[in-house]
A and B are shown apart, each in its own frame.
Chain A
């Protein structure tokens, strides 16, 4: 899928490009609003990531242009100006999602995937892990036709995030940010991810050992899926 990254902070734009290329997106990068405006006028993209705080261009104006020339494109707003007013205005103008800086790259990718699924109405998203059938659409886990309903919402969120980023080690920080990111509190480094993983393993172990949920010593967790 084609992604246009509009970000005036070169260092960030480069990292976005590296990361998304890794996930098999085809990226183009613009450091200025003017350059972006030109590209939007000429090319078609599946994703347009717009930084609202461009020095030479009103980000919201760019969003309008994008929606006009690329009506099929999924527009995501990336901004450090996380004000409510902008948030509402951004969504009203047809942005599909909004990601306040600083965000995790994993979060960006999972949002992009979620929107893609929603937009294209992809059919049931099922993952088979050693007998456990994980339905990412209905958010259920079953083991050979027996639905496991002991798994809590948070626990499912963790499993789903690990599946989304399968075969990659996710750190506790990244997992914490995903499931508690929107909560503002004064803890840092408080790690309840381990407790959650322990609970998930215990609950699944009733049916079969979930060997696919790996602990990567000293680094984090990983779900291995052979493709």
Chain B
């Protein structure tokens, strides 16, 4: 989940929780406020009554009365009880046949050695009649405010997180490893993002220069090795032609030649990979796929024959590869089919199938060979990686790295499906611009 979504979600949920809590507490709260308000009002009335009595005597006020709708009542009478009373509580009273709950202030006092009891009541219904409208108003105002703050949060977090979005989009997602392109500063006033942006940039630069150094090293090293190899090769060839060298020595020269060939192959392959990675090849060729595969077949048929492997190609005649380097693609297919032969059983099968699903063009190279185990599958494209089952083969573990480099150079994706003992399928997924029909 994106940070922005998470923040919005948290904001909304936390606010909703607070609102719910508040709304749940609201009735109790309002009741409390109302009661306090009523109580203080009753106290005030009591004080007023006492004041009047002390000023003008008690006589005229000894009566009981209630308002016409029985919402309030007043009573002052002689009290028969001795105990001291000064309370405010809810009590039910029966007035003219109606039982009504009142909030009643009871207070007794002594005037001229006589006990009097004052009671002032207010019906609970009237006290609580404001509760519901108050609750409703409070609820509405709250919801409105919360919506407003959520909106404000949303807008602000959008604004404040935009640089992060930009960093992710332009610095991480858009970058094609290992070609990073140039640095553009992301505008932000948040120092954390600034730091993040600069750190990512520095890391990318470090990686890039390490890659560049590696590529340069491989390129220089393999170039520098070419001349000594050339000298050795010439010397061996010239010695081999001399009549005064006996056959026994010639056999040994031959072994040297073989080893030199191995060195030459490794060097040439590394050089090729570094040249591809440095984009020193043009992509301007156009060739029919079936013609190209035919050329590969011509080169490789002797190897198929040698192991008695059947080879079938299902390639639509009209498929043409465009914007490609023919030499490189030839090598890509050669290596894939060569592997399909190398790691196949005698009398095995190889199929090359071109398929199209909507606008996705695929070429599958399917073999019935020894397959690749799931543990080894992630490493098959690594340079010089050799696996147990391939040890008896004459290879130095650069076949698939070549394939990978050439495919990447043409933006071809490779998917490998393999089951140990049953065979492998190497599926090339070609971008649209490589195919012309």
B226 at the interface (CB under 8 A from A): yes
Interface-centre pick from B230, B254, B272, B303 (highest chain A CB count, 10 A): B230
* Contact partners of A15 in chain B: CB under 8 A: 231, 234-235, 237-238
A121 CB to closest chain B CB (Å) equals: 29
B220 CB to closest chain A CB (Å) equals: 11
Binary per-residue interface labels of chain A (180-204) against chain B in the complex, 1 for a CB within 8 Å, 0 otherwise: 1011111111101001100100000
Binary per-residue interface labels of chain B (237-253) against chain A in the complex, 1 for a CB within 8 Å, 0 otherwise: 11011000001001100
- Contacts A15-B238, A173-B257, A185-B331 given: A83-B402 contact, CB under 8 Å? no
Q: Are A80 and B254 in contact (CB under 8 A)?
A: no
Q: Are B235 and A11 in contact (CB under 8 A)?
A: yes
A142 CB to closest chain B CB (Å) equals: 22
B418 at the interface (CB under 8 A from A): no
Closest B residue to A78 using CB positions: B230
B399 at the interface (CB under 8 A from A): yes
Q: Interface size bucket, B side?
A: 35 or more
Q: Are B280 and A102 in contact (CB under 8 A)?
A: no
Closest B residue to A105 using CB positions: B237
Taking CB atoms and an 8 Å cut-off, the chain A residues in 175-227 that contact chain B are 176-177, 180, 182-190, 192, 195-196, 199, 217-220
B241 CB to closest chain A CB (Å) equals: 6
- Contacts A80-B223, A101-B227, A183-B331 given: A189-B247 contact, CB under 8 Å? no
Please measure, in the bound complex, the distance between the C-alpha atom of A186 and the C-alpha atom of B273, giving whole angstroms: 12
Known contacts A22-B238, A106-B237, A184-B265; can you find 19 more A-B pairs with CB under 8 A? A9-B230, A83-B275, A84-B280, A84-B281, A104-B233, A152-B301, A171-B254, A173-B258, A174-B257, A183-B330, A184-B268, A186-B395, A186-B397, A187-B265, A188-B262, A189-B394, A190-B394, A192-B302, A217-B247
* Contact partners of B272 in chain A: CB under 8 A: 184
Interface residues of B (CB under 8 A from A): 223-224, 226-227, 229-231, 233-235, 237-238, 240-241, 247, 250-251, 254, 257-258, 261-262, 264-265, 268-269, 271-272, 275, 280-282, 298-299, 301-303, 305-306, 327, 330-331, 334-335, 338, 342, 394-399, 402
Q: List 26 A-B pairs, Cβ < 8 Å.
A: A9-B230, A22-B238, A80-B230, A83-B275, A84-B281, A102-B264, A104-B237, A105-B234, A152-B298, A152-B301, A153-B298, A171-B240, A173-B257, A180-B299, A185-B265, A185-B269, A185-B335, A185-B402, A186-B269, A186-B395, A186-B402, A187-B342, A187-B394, A189-B261, A192-B303, A218-B251
* Contact partners of B234 in chain A: CB under 8 A: 12, 15-16, 19, 105
* Contact partners of A19 in chain B: CB under 8 A: 234, 237-238, 241
* Contact partners of B330 in chain A: CB under 8 A: 183
Closest B residue to A176 using CB positions: B261
